């Protein structure tokens, strides 16, 4: 790129001299319309509890969901993502509870769609909140079996669609699952149910607090490196995203977010599709701890979200969604 002009005729500080002018020339912004809020649900009644590993984030019993959904509605946050804390006695080695039409996710979906029909809902398709070993798939001969896992994931996705889920988000990283789920959805006439594929999901250490929140952390045997991606790689994203699009994904996600901005940017520049970023639990807790300890200012949240927009993301899944929407409102 050619640099036109030079100092002293050109003074770049001229465009930074006041807030209104900085607003006029700004290239990116974050809006409440770009936010997706993850919400954790648990069994029981009349309880809202803190999650130790994620300061400020809570788990809700289904009857208490309206308290947070009211805020989501008032702040015009377009979509939520639901995640369950499954009681230990409902976990088994094949994640059977995932297919229970009366499980936490199904009950939550019904409540949201009945009482807050204009809030979009996305649901993970993966077995980790339901398995006794904490993995996203099932073990056969000591390995996570790709094709046998897909058979269960199809049923999980269909159940969620039946309960009113708007956006099915396969987060399991099995090969071929997007195509299998799309085919099953179409066959059952769920033609308008979207698929947001966790196309690029790295085997990250930054999921720790989330695993604690859904109760899979202490259960997890080994790691997820045989199915989630190796964080030393970037070029395999073209195969992951390309395949998922061919199989019928409507949107793709990059996860984690902040340490993977190069990946978001590469996808944005090479595919004409909506790319979403997931600012994961470890990223949230790092920033939140910094703010609570007064090492960071609250504005650091906005700065982190703008990095996603700059990189090319159209929306961000973030545990900060409520805080951000409030901050933008008062800005
Ligand atoms: C389940 C799933 C995970 C996250 C979202 N869906 C954890 C994992 O893959 O181990 C992580 C989200 C976060 O850390 O905020 N497959």
Q: How many CB atoms lie within 10 A of CB 25?
A: 8
| 73 lies in some domain | yes
Q: How far is the CA of 148 from the centre of ligand 1 (A)?
A: 21
Decide if 201 is catalytic.
yes
Calculate mean pLDDT across residues 64-91.
98
| 18 lies in some domain | no
> Which of 16-25, 270-279, 322-331 has the weakest average pLDDT?
322-331
Ligand 1 in contact with 124 (CB < 6 A)?
A: yes
Ligand 1 in contact with 169 (CB < 6 A)?
A: no
Q: How far is the CA of 40 from the centre of ligand 1 (A)?
A: 12
| 23 lies in some domain | no
Q: For a pLDDT cut of 70, what percent of the chain falls above it?
A: 100
Residue 249's pLDDT band, with cuts at 50, 70 and 90, is very high
pLDDT for res 325:
97
Task: Count the domains in the chain.
Answer: 1
Residue 297's pLDDT band, with cuts at 50, 70 and 90, is very high
Site to substitute for ligand 1 among 57, 85, 207, most atoms within 8 A of C-beta: 207
Strand 167-170 to 194-201 pairing = parallel
pLDDT for res 331:
66
Ligand 1 in contact with 34 (CB < 6 A)?
A: no
Q: What are phi and psi of 321, to 5 degrees?
A: -50, -45
| 149 lies in some domain | yes
Structural tokens at position 286: 């790092």
Structural tokens at position 46: 């009349």
Give all strands (DSSP E) within the chain, no chain letters.
Answer: 35-42, 48-50, 58-61, 79-85, 120-125, 139-140, 143-144, 167-170, 194-201, 251-255, 275-279, 315-318
Q: How far is the CA of 186 from the centre of ligand 1 (A)?
A: 27
Residues sharing a CB contact under 8 Å with residue 290, sequence separation 6 or more, in sequence order: 296, 300
pLDDT for res 107:
98
Catalytic residue among 64, 91, 224, 255: 255
| 238 lies in some domain | yes
- The CATH number for 46's domain is 3.20.20.70
Residue 1's pLDDT band, with cuts at 50, 70 and 90, is confident
Q: Using CA positions, which residue lies closest to atom 11 of ligand 1?
A: 207
Which atom belonging to ligand 1 lies closest to the Cα atom of 126? 16
Calculate mean pLDDT across residues 69-97.
97
pLDDT for res 231:
98
pLDDT for res 12:
95
pLDDT for res 221:
86
| 138 lies in some domain | yes
Q: 301-305 contacts: CB < 8 A, separation 24 or more? A: 301/327, 302/30, 302/327, 304/258, 304/279, 305/30, 305/34, 305/279
pLDDT for res 166:
98
Decide if 225 is catalytic.
no
Domain that holds residue 81: 31-330
Residue 305's pLDDT band, with cuts at 50, 70 and 90, is very high
8 A C-beta contact, residue 275 and residue 312: yes
Q: Using CA positions, which residue lies closest to atom 8 of ligand 1?
A: 207
Q: Which helix (H) or strand (E) holds 210?
A: helix 208-213
pLDDT score of 279 more than 90: yes
Please, what's the largest Cα pairwise distance for the chain? Answer: 72
Q: How far is the CA of 43 from the centre of ligand 1 (A)?
A: 20
pLDDT for res 183:
98
Residue 266's pLDDT band, with cuts at 50, 70 and 90, is very high
| 189 lies in some domain | yes
- Beta bridge partners, 279, equal 318
Read off the pLDDT of residues 213-245 as tens digits, 9 standing for 90 and up. 998 888 998 999 999 999 999 999 999 999 999
pLDDT score of 152 more than 70: yes
Ligand 1 in contact with 119 (CB < 6 A)?
A: no
Q: Using CA positions, which residue lies closest to atom 2 of ligand 1?
A: 171
| 9 lies in some domain | no
């Amino acid at each position: 790129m050619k640099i036109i002009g030079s100092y002293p005729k050109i003074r770049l500080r001229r465009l930074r001299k006041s807030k209104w002018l900085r607003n006029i020339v700004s290239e990116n912004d974050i809006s409440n319309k770009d936010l997706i809020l993850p919400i954790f649900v648990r069994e029981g009644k009349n309880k809202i509890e803190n999650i130790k590993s994620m300061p400020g984030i809570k788990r809700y019993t289904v009857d208490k969901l309206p308290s947070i959904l009211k805020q989501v509605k008032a702040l015009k946050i377009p979509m939520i993502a639901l995640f369950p804390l499954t009681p230990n006695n409902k976990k088994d080695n094949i994640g059977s509870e995932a297919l229970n039409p009366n499980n936490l996710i199904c009950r939550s979906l019904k409540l949201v769609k009945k009482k807050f029909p204009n809030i979009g809902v996305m649901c993970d398709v993966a077995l980790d909140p339901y398995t006794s070993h904490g993995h996203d798939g099932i073990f056969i001969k000591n390995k996570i079996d790709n094709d046998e896992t897909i058979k269960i994931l199809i049923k999980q996705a269909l159940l969620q669609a039946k309960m009113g889920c708007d956006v099915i988000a396969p987060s399991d990283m099995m090969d071929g699952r997007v195509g299998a789920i799309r085919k099953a959805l179409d066959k059952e006439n769920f033609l308008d149910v979207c698929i947001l594929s966790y196309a690029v999901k790295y085997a990250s250490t930054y999921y720790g607090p989330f695993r604690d929140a859904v109760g899979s952390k202490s259960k997890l045997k080994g790691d997820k490196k045989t199915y989630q991606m190796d964080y030393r790689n970037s070029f395999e994203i073209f195969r992951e995203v390309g395949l998922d699009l061919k199989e019928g994904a409507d949107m793709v996600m990059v996860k984690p977010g902040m340490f993977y901005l190069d990946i978001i940017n590469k996808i944005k520049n090479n595919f004409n599709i909506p790319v979403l970023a997931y600012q994961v639990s470890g990223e949230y807790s790092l920033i939140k701890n910094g703010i609570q300890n007064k090492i960071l200012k609250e504005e650091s949240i906005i700065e982190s979200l703008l990095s996603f927009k700059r990189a090319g993301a159209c929306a961000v899944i973030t545990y900060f969604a409520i805080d951000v929407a409030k901050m933008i409102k008062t800005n």
